[in-house]
Every structure is written in structure tokens, then in C-alpha cells.
Structure 1
């Protein structure tokens, strides 16, 4: 491994069928006023809402509800939630839902007492918080983003068609997260596979960088193999506990900063995908799947040895009689076949993108240079066109 780094992850995880009971251990660590954040109401249909409220009440908490968090949380919703937190002087923000709900909770945590417009400060200027931060806890209902153990918070501005993520420091990480794989059973198939590909993309965007012999690459290969294996089982039987638990655990470790240690990282698929999401409001994981194959084919010549390794280690491609390029192409073909098997979006046109949007999406794409090749504006347009 090359490079120097310091590593800390302060989030406490409670994992397993009985994980929700551990909320009783966490709540006494915080004050009495809790902002309960959730989405469109699915947690009420499943009974999870009643369970969480009962635990809050039994711990003497006063609950301030913040419902209606959308899949791509908007800046207006952020302003609303920040007012709720500030005006009620909440001691804890408890997010119950998927990655968007957790992202939103963290964005509210740093915005409630921000003296400036948080969109300007955090999402346009990428500054760090210099105000009081409200602690966050998460009860996760969908595996994908890794938001339960990181500082990421993605917010969308529909007016400017910008979808931007700010990765905050450890002071913004959730203080604790509850991970019960059974809570993910009710997620619709479309959302489940979108989350699975979000996990895959997180891993690949950290894997496809660097030329050193890095322990993290070996870990990521194992995570990808496990994810592909479990995804096929979960697609056939969504209530297979072992498969869903492996997917949930892989999602957490894919983006809790651990495998990024000692590496440069790419993130261009996420930048392009988030720009697509800003124009279409499409499901995040599907925006990533729609652009991934064209993107990786585009950068493959710049990092050919790693693409050969990816084909062999993750997809078990037999390279006998093949050139390195043929082996690498076979690996991407195997990935594409798995993606189609899962029912992922394979083109941005499926998500509502038209030829006329391509230049605007490219304009909205943040440029990153940590991977094997940093595409310029014209290359991004070409990748998007290939994704139509």
C-alpha cells in the first residue's frame, strides 16, 4: 500500500434480527427531544413506525415528526427540516428509512444552526460546518448507499437541476445505526436491485484506481463476489435472510471509508449519474447502472491491468488464449450480463434523458481526477450518448 492516512469511524452498528431492541441502549445517551425523520409512509404500513415510536415513548422522548422525505431530498425539504430541528431544539435526529432519509438527516444536522444558506455553503462552496451539529441515528430499511456509516449527504436543487453530494467529516457520521436485514424485505424489486448496483458502483469506483498492491483491492474483490452471489439469491427469494444480510453488510463496508484507505478514488460514474438524476429525478442506482458500462469501456484502455484483474478475480473469466484487452472486455461483458439479469436500467433514455439534455447533463457533472482517466466535457457527452 502507498500513501499515508489516518482512519477513524465513530459509528456504532447494531446488526441482526434483534437490532432494533438496541435502540433502548442508544436513546439514553441523548436528550429528550427527538426529530423523527422518515419518507412516504411505508414504515407505517409495515408497522415499523409504531415499533420505533413505542421505543421512543418508553424512553421518555418527545417526538417531533419530519415526514415526507423524498427519494432525492430537495433543498426546500432541507430548509423545512432544518427549521423543525432548530425551532424545537432537538437533541437527536432519528432517521428511519433508506439512504435518502439518512442523507437528509445528516444534511439537516449541519444546517439547523448554520448562519448561511446551507445549499450555498455546503453544496456549492463545499465548506465544512462551523456551527453546532445535531447528532444523528439511523434505523435502516434499505441497503445501498452506506449512509448509515459515513458522512455523505446528497441534496437536489430541482430549480437548477443540480444533485450534489457533500461528504462531511466524522463529526457528522451517525452516532449509531440499527441494521436488521428483515427490514429490507418489503423494498420493491426495482428499488432492491437499484440499491445493489449502488453498492457495486461504490466498490468499483474505489477499485478502479492505483497501480500498487493494495490490500483494499483484495477486500473489494471479495465484497463484489459476495454481492453478485447474494444478489442472485435475493432476486429469486427476497426473504432469504442470509442473502439480504450479506447485501446489507456489503453495502455498509462498501462506503464507510474503510476500503478507500491508501487509495485514490474515481467517482466519475456517481458524478455523471447524479447529474442525470438532477435532470430526471430518476432512482439513484439506476442512473449509475445506465452509464456504467459505457463509462468503464471508455476508461478501460487507461487502466487495462486492473480491468484484467477485475475480469479474472470477480467474474472468473478464463484468459487462456485471450489478449489482455479481450480478457478485460469479457469481464465487462460478464458484468453487463449480470446487470441485465438483475433488471437494471441499461440506458439513460429509459430514465427520460433525451439527446437535447446531454450537453446540460455534462455541464452539471462535477469533474473528478482520482481514477485512471479524467474525461473532459466532450468525453462525458460521448459517454452519455453511448448510454442513450
Structure 2
């Protein structure tokens, strides 16, 4: 492994179908005022809301709610949440939902005591919080983002059509605790399930496709990717298979709690392009990633040929005998495409609502990073988007 790094992950996890019972234990560590944050109301239909509010009441908490957090959490919704948390004098933000709800809670956390505009400070200048932050706890109901064990928060500015993620360096932003009950994910529609599965897989890819040194992180990544492939095929056949869904939930957490990024550079251009697509279409995050991934990877394959060859052999079991490196690498991406279609992922951004007249704006809104095998030019992003149509 090359370079120097530090690693600290302060989030305490409770995993399993009996994990919610630990919520009361955690609540006693915080003051009386809790803001309960959730999405469109599915937790009220499946009974999770009732379970959580009962525990809050039994713990003597004074509860205010922020409901209706959308999948691509907006800046307007963030401003609303800041005011609610301030007026409630919140001691804890409790996010119950998927990654967007957890992301949103962290964005509120860093903004409540900040005198500056959070969009300008955190999402345009990418500064760290200088103010006191609020503690966040998560009860996870959908897997994919890994937001339950990282310091990332993605917000969409609908006016400027920008969807930007800030992974804070300050460990205070990471959830203090997260409750992961795989049974809470079993009621998700198949579309949301497979979208989350691809989000998990791509998080690993974003950290894998960079660097050429002999890095322990890449070996871990290969194991995680194989775990996703195995569990995803079982879950796709039987979405009620608890073991497969529990393995996906656990893999999602380790895919993006920064462990597999240690000691190496990382790419993240699929996310940059996909998030810009999402800002224009409001499409489901995992599907935007799926739609742009293969055109991007086929574009950068010549610049990272040896890693793509390794990916083919170690993840997809491609036999390299008698083949050129290019043939092996391409066979790996072809196997990946077969798997993606098997899951039923969206493979074209046009199916997500993108139109030809949006492409220039999407390209302009794509943040260009340099951690991968090639720093893209604007014209290359435009070409990848055309290939994704």
C-alpha cells in the first residue's frame, strides 16, 4: 500500500431483526428534544413509525417531526428542516428511512448552528463546519447509500439544477448510531431494491477503479463485489429471502464507510455524472448510476487496463487463457452488463427522462474529479452522455 492515511469510524451499529430494541438505550444519551425525520410516509404503512414513536414516548422525549423528505433531498427542504430543528432546540436528529433521509439529517446537523447559507458554505465552497453540530442517529429502512456509517450528505438545488454531495472530513458529522434491521427492507418495491443493489456495487467500483499498487483495499473490494453479486441474484429471484437481504444491507454499509478507500486514490466520476442526470430528471439515484456506468467504464478502460483485467478475472471469473488483456477486460464489462440486465436496471438515461436538449446542461453540471484513471474533458462527458441515451 502506498501513501499515508488515518481511519476513524465512530458510528455504533446495531444489526439484526431485534436491533430496534437498542434505540431506547441510545436515546438516554441525549437531551429531551428529538426531531424525527422521515420520508413520504411508507414507515407509517409498514408499522416502523409506530414502533419508533412508541420507544420515543417511553423514553420521555419531546418529539417534533420533519416529514416528506424526498429521495433527492432539496435545498428548500433543508431550509425548512433547519428552522424546525432550531425552533425545537433539538438535542438529537433521528433519521428513519433510506439514504436520502440520513443524508438530509446530516445536512441539517451541520446547518442548524451555522450563520452562513449552507448551500454556499458546504456545497459550493466545500468548507467544514466551524459551528456546533447536532448528533444524528439512523434507523435504516432501505440499503444502498451507506449513509448510516459515513459523513456524506447529498443535496439538490432545484433552481440551479445542481445535485452535490459533500463528504465531510469532520467525524462529528457521522451518525452516532445506526440501527440496521434487514426486515425493514423487505417491503421495498423491486425497483427500489435493485436500484439500491446497484448503488452498493457502484460505490465499490468508484473506489476500486483507481491506482495500480498492491493494495489491501482492492482485495476487500473484490470480496464485497462478489458478495453483492451472490446476494443480489438470490434477492432478485426471491425478494423475501432474509439472508440475502441481510447480506446486502451489511455489504452496503462496508461499501461506503470509507474503509475500502484507505491507502489509495478514488474515482467517483460515475456519481458525478449520475448526480447531474438526477438533478435534471429527479430520477432514482441508483438508476442514474446504472445508466451511465458502462459507457464511462468502456471509455476509461484503455487507461486502466490492468485493473479492468483484474476485475474481470477476480470478480467475474473470466478465464484469461489465450486472450489479450483487452479481450479479458472487455469480457468482464460484458459480464457486468449481463448481470445488470438480469436485475432489471435502467440502462439508458433517456428512460429516466433525460432528453437531448438536457445533455449540455448535464455535462456543464458534472463536477470533474481527477482520482481515476483519466481526468475527463467536458467533451468526453458530453460523449459519454450521448452514449448513455
TM-score class, shorter-chain normalisation, is: over 0.9
Q: Verify: 1:321 aligned to 2:355, yes or no.
A: no
Q: Verify: 1:179 aligned to 2:180, yes or no.
A: yes
The residue number in structure 2 matching 1:295 is 296
The residue number in structure 1 matching 2:25 is 25
Aligned-pair distance for 1:130?
0.9
The residue number in structure 1 matching 2:76 is 76
Runs of 4+ in 1 over 6 A off after TM superposition: none
For 2:244 and 2:375, the matched residues in 1 are separated by 36
The residue number in structure 2 matching 1:360 is 361
Q: Verify: 1:146 aligned to 2:146, yes or no.
A: yes
Aligned to 2:179, the other structure's residue is in SS state: strand
Q: After superposition, what is the alpha-carbon deviation per residue over 1:354-388, rounded to whole angstroms, capped at 9, x for unaligned?
A: 12111111100001000111111000000000000
Aligned-pair distance for 1:244?
0.5
The residue number in structure 2 matching 1:193 is 194
Q: Which of 237-246 and 94-103 deviates more? A: 237-246
The residue number in structure 2 matching 1:95 is 95
For 1:367 and 1:338, the matched residues in 2 are separated by 28
For 1:46 and 1:270, the matched residues in 2 are separated by 31
For 1:105 and 1:195, the matched residues in 2 are separated by 19
For 2:94 and 2:25, the matched residues in 1 are separated by 14
Aligned-pair distance for 1:225?
0.4
Q: Verify: 1:209 aligned to 2:213, yes or no.
A: no
The residue number in structure 1 matching 2:240 is 239
Q: Verify: 1:3 aligned to 2:3, yes or no.
A: yes
The residue number in structure 1 matching 2:351 is 350
For 1:96 and 1:213, the matched residues in 2 are separated by 39
Aligned to 2:93, the other structure's residue is in SS state: strand
For 1:46 and 1:62, the matched residues in 2 are separated by 23
Superposed counterparts of 1:376-387, under 5 Å:
376-387=377-388
For 1:253 and 1:331, the matched residues in 2 are separated by 23
Aligned to 2:115, the other structure's residue is in SS state: coil
The residue number in structure 1 matching 2:165 is 165
Aligned-pair distance for 1:316?
0.4
Aligned-pair distance for 1:24?
1.4
For 1:187 and 1:111, the matched residues in 2 are separated by 31
Aligned-pair distance for 1:192?
0.6
Q: After superposition, what is the alpha-carbon deviation per residue over 1:16-71, rounded to whole angstroms, capped at 9, x for unaligned?
A: 01100010110100001100000000000001000000000101101101100000
The residue number in structure 1 matching 2:57 is 57
Structure 2: runs of 5+ lacking an equivalent: none
For 1:3 and 1:85, the matched residues in 2 are separated by 41
For 2:375 and 2:243, the matched residues in 1 are separated by 39
The residue number in structure 1 matching 2:110 is 110
Q: After superposition, what is the alpha-carbon deviation per residue over 1:211-262, rounded to whole angstroms, capped at 9, x for unaligned?
A: 1000010100000001011001011111111100110011000000111000
Aligned to 1:244, the other structure's residue is in SS state: helix
Aligned-pair distance for 1:87?
1.0
For 1:319 and 1:387, the matched residues in 2 are separated by 29
The residue number in structure 2 matching 1:250 is 251
The residue number in structure 2 matching 1:14 is 14
Aligned-pair distance for 1:352?
1.0
The residue number in structure 2 matching 1:42 is 42
For 1:86 and 1:113, the matched residues in 2 are separated by 8
Aligned-pair distance for 1:321?
1.5
The residue number in structure 2 matching 1:230 is 231
Q: After superposition, what is the alpha-carbon deviation per residue over 1:272-311, rounded to whole angstroms, capped at 9, x for unaligned?
A: 0000000100000000000000000000000000000000
For 1:35 and 1:238, the matched residues in 2 are separated by 32
Q: After superposition, what is the alpha-carbon deviation per residue over 1:117-161, rounded to whole angstroms, capped at 9, x for unaligned?
A: 111111111111111101000000001000000000000011110
Q: After superposition, what is the alpha-carbon deviation per residue over 1:60-112, rounded to whole angstroms, capped at 9, x for unaligned?
A: 10110110000000000000000011111010000000000000000000111
The residue number in structure 2 matching 1:262 is 263
Structure 1: runs of 5+ lacking an equivalent: none
Aligned-pair distance for 1:320?
1.4
TM-score by length of 2: 0.99
Aligned to 1:29, the other structure's residue is in SS state: coil
For 1:12 and 1:229, the matched residues in 2 are separated by 27
Aligned to 2:375, the other structure's residue is in SS state: coil
For 1:126 and 1:312, the matched residues in 2 are separated by 38
